[in-house]
């Protein structure tokens, strides 16, 4: 199969137009095509007078090598298939590995182990992904949060992810494997080729459930509302783990724990640190969610082509270096989405964002974040970043009114250093509601001033970003983990048999990179059992 890239395709072109463009470059006729597929599709909106798609197409042809020899170098390239995951050469007889956490890292770690015949036991302190929507609605209606549930209502954190953005900057052949698995378990086919693939809050639960069902069918176990509470060593290596569920405390004999606990399970991190797992401080970010009318973003990005049915809701990703040397950037941009609660403990407010598959909401939102450096942590305790997160989230809780409403400020007021007393033309989507005020009561000064600078800078990159009525809802403090857990060449931490994994280990920064890390760690564990 040959890949042909950089094919310019009009917005109104029919489905076979990309193939015809590829065949023109290949100097081949339609009759020689055995099969074809779109491998990548993106929007080129650099020229607002000529917005179009750019495709890459994979084509299988009769007598393919002859076609390739007749072309100039670079016109087409043969495709390398992703490497297969490791498989045990003989039935596994050792202690069953334990996976703590069932977000993207834990999910794909467990799937890889299950397919190798290792029958993993998964401990997930939250609920089944199918039940989370009902729990979220109960929270919104009552304003009551169970601090023991550690349920993440937005993307990321300990437990299943809920938005499904699949963009990543890592270059690893396993990225393709992750996309293929998600599609095989019910995600839309377009995630295999879109430049910025997205499953959607409304579709992702069924995909996660389908993967879980395969893990169980292969002999794995998944225990929900099961919190990892301890590790026991013997002769300097892992010998057992303990966990707590509704029935009480339990112990599992195991010599392998994949700790895929997510970036928000600070209590579990502290337990592992006390047990001797080496950790170091890591930079993270803090800020707020900014909401604009989606129509404004569409016009800014697509000009006269805004609203074209082939384009959908426009996205953006913006960054700037601040005069202080810190970075400010937008993150997890949600076209046609909503700002959501991501609290995991009582007395704290934390925001996130998500979008349904259709991305048809009235507002666009994104995290607007400023770098937090280890020098800001206040001491050299490896987990000090979690303390900062808690301080800011508790401030947000109080500023919102103490009932899980979130504090917000209009962009125009924030730029003018004045408190917001009422909302404007943008209706915030956060539930259970917002309280207009002043984010200076919530954010550290370097973040507040950094956001001011960034809004003005981003308005020069994306016209309308500094819309006075744009709403900033705080606080967003969990875009990444504030610690990193070093690993050796076998991907073990400082405790032999403990495999730190994913965002909670500071080894990933999003769904795709976390899922890939879950596969890599599991492959390493499997290889160690082969020796």
- Are 65 and 124 contained in the same domain? no
Same domain, 208 and 253: yes
Mark which of 453, 476, 499 sits at the end of a domain. 476
Which two tokens mark 89? Answer: 């050469």
Do 287 and 276 share a domain, yes or no?
Answer: no
Where does 10-92 show beta strands of DSSP type E? 33-44, 52-61, 77-78
Within this chain, do residues 126 and 261 fall inside the same structural domain, yes or no? yes
* pLDDT computed for residue 169 by the predictor: 84
Residue 60, SS3 per DSSP: strand
End-to-end CA distance of the chain: 36
Q: How far apart are CA 256 and CA 120, in angstroms?
A: 10
> Residue 424 and residue 450: Cα distance in Å, rounded?
23
Whether 368 and 299 map to the same domain: the answer is yes
Question: pLDDT tens track of the chain, all 531 residues?
Answer: 999 999 999 999 999 999 999 999 999 999 999 999 999 999 999 999 999 999 999 999 999 989 988 999 889 999 876 666 667 777 888 999 999 999 999 999 999 999 999 999 999 998 887 776 555 545 444 444 443 333 333 223 353 445 678 888 888 889 999 999 999 999 999 999 999 999 988 888 899 999 999 999 999 999 999 999 999 999 999 999 999 999 999 999 999 999 999 988 999 999 999 999 999 999 999 999 999 999 999 999 999 999 999 999 999 999 999 999 999 999 999 999 999 998 888 899 999 999 999 999 999 999 999 999 999 999 999 999 999 999 999 999 999 999 999 999 999 999 999 999 999 999 999 998 999 999 999 999 999 999 999 999 999 999 999 999 999 999 999 999 999 999 999 999 999 999 999 999 999 988 999 999 999 999 999 999 887
Q: Which of 46, 78, 110 is the last residue of a domain?
A: 78
Check whether residue 354 and residue 463 sit in a common domain.
Answer: yes
Residues 310 and 455 in one domain: yes
Euclidean distance between CA atoms 158 and 102, whole angstroms? 7
E-strand ranges in 342-494 read 351-354, 363-372, 406-410, 434-436, 471-476, 483-484
Question: Which residues 6+ apart lie within 8 Å of 482 measured at CB?
Answer: 281, 282, 283, 284, 372, 377, 383, 384, 385, 386, 388, 389
Nearest Cα neighbor of 455 from 423, 412, 392 is 412
- Domain of 199 in residue numbering reads as 98-280+481-530
- Domain of residue 66, CATH code: 3.30.70.2700
Residues 273 and 289 in one domain: no
Any domain includes 521:
yes
The answer to whether the CB of 290 falls within 8 A of the CB of 426 is no
Q: For residue 234, which phi and psi values (nearest 5 degrees)? A: -140, 130
**pLDDT at residue 393 in the model:** 97
Strand partners, 38: 57
What does the block give as tokens for 477? 């403090």
Confirm whether 85 is domain-assigned: no
Q: Rounded to 5 degrees, what are φ and ψ at 423?
A: -85, 165
Indicate if 231 and 313 belong to the same structural domain.
no
Whether 144 contacts 315, CB under 8 Å: no
Is residue 424 included in any domain, yes or no?
Answer: yes
Select from 448, 476, 504 the last residue of a domain.
476
Query: Residue 170's pLDDT is what?
Result: 87
Please, are residues 197 and 191 in contact by the beta-carbon 8 Å criterion?
yes
Cα 276 to Cα 211: distance, rounded to the nearest angstrom: 33
Largest CA distance in the chain: 71
12, 184, 209, 211: which is closest to 109 by C-alpha? 211
What number of residues does the chain have?
A: 531
Residue 88 lies in a domain: no
Domain assignment present for 360: yes
Q: Is residue 91, in this structure, part of any structural domain at all?
A: no
Read off the tokens for 186. 């019910």
Q: Are residues 290 and 333 in the same domain?
A: yes
pLDDT at 242: 98
Residue 84 lies in a domain: no
266 Cβ contact list (under 8 Å, min separation 6): 383, 386, 389, 390
115 and 252: one domain? Answer: yes
For residue 250, the domain's CATH number is 3.50.50.60
Q: Specify whether the CB–CB gap between 525 and 489 falls below 8 A.
A: no
**What are residue 402's phi and psi, to 5 degrees?**
80, 15
Listed in sequence order, the residues at least 6 apart from 173 whose beta carbon sits closer than 8 Å to its beta carbon are 80, 82, 83
**Structurally, how many domains does the chain consist of?**
3
């Amino acid at each position: 199969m040959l890949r042909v890239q950089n094919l310019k395709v009009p917005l109104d072109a029919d489905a076979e137009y990309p193939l015809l463009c590829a065949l023109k470059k290949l100097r081949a006729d339609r009759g020689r095509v055995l099969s074809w597929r779109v491998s990548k599709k993106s929007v080129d909106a650099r020229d607002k007078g000529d917005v179009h798609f750019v495709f890459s197409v994979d084509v299988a042809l009769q007598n393919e090598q002859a076609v390739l020899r007749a072309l100039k170098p670079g016109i087409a390239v043969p495709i390398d298939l992703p490497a297969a995951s490791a498989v045990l050469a003989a039935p596994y007889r050792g202690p069953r590995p334990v996976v703590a956490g069932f977000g993207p890292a834990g999910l794909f770690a467990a799937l890889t182990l299950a397919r190798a015949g290792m029958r993993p036991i998964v401990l997930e302190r939250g609920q089944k992904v199918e039940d989370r929507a009902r729990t979220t609605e109960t929270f919104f209606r009552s304003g009551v949060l169970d601090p023991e549930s550690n349920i993440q209502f937005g993307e990321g954190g300990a437990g299943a992810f809920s938005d499904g953005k699949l963009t990543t900057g890592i270059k690893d052949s396993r990225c393709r494997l992750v996309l293929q698995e998600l599609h095989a378990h019910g995600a839309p086919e377009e995630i295999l080729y879109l430049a910025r693939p997205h499953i959607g809050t409304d579709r992702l639960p069924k995909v996660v459930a389908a993967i879980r069902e395969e893990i169980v069918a292969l002999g794995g176990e998944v225990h929900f509302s099961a919190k990892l509470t301890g590790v026991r060593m013997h002769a300097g290596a892992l010998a057992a783990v303990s966990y707590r569920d509704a029935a009480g405390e339990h112990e599992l004999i195991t010599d392998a724990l994949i700790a895929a606990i997510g970036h928000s399970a600070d209590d579990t991190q502290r337990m592992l640190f006390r047990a001797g797992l080496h950790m170091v401080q890591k930079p993270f970010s803090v800020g707020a969610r900014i909401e604009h009318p989606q129509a404004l973003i569409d016009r800014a990005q697509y000009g006269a082509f805004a609203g074209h049915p082939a384009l959908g809701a426009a996205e953006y990703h913006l960054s700037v270096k601040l005069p202080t040397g810190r970075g400010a950037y937008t993150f997890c941009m949600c076209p046609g989405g909503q700002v959501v609660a991501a609290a995991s403990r009582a007395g704290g407010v934390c925001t996130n964002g998500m979008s349904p598959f259709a991305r048809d909401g009235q507002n666009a939102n994104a995290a607007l974040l400023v770098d937090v450096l280890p020098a800001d942590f206040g001491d050299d305790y490896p987990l000090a970043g979690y303390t900062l997160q808690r301080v800011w989230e508790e401030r947000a809780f109080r500023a919102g009114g103490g009932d899980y409403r979130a504090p917000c400020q209009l962009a125009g007021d924030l730029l003018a250093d004045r408190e917001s007393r009422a909302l404007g033309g943008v209706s915030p989507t956060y539930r259970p509601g917002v309280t207009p005020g002043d984010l200076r009561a919530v954010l550290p000064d370097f973040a507040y001033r950094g956001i001011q600078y960034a809004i003005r800078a981003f308005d020069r990159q994306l016209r309308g970003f500094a819309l006075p009525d744009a709403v900033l809802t705080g606080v967003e403090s969990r875009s990444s983990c504030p610690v990193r857990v070093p690993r050796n060449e076998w991907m073990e931490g400082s405790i032999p048999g403990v495999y730190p994994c994913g965002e909670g280990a500071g080894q990933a920064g999003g769904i795709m990179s976390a899922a890939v890390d879950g596969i890599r760690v599991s492959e390493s564990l499997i290889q160690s059992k082969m020796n």
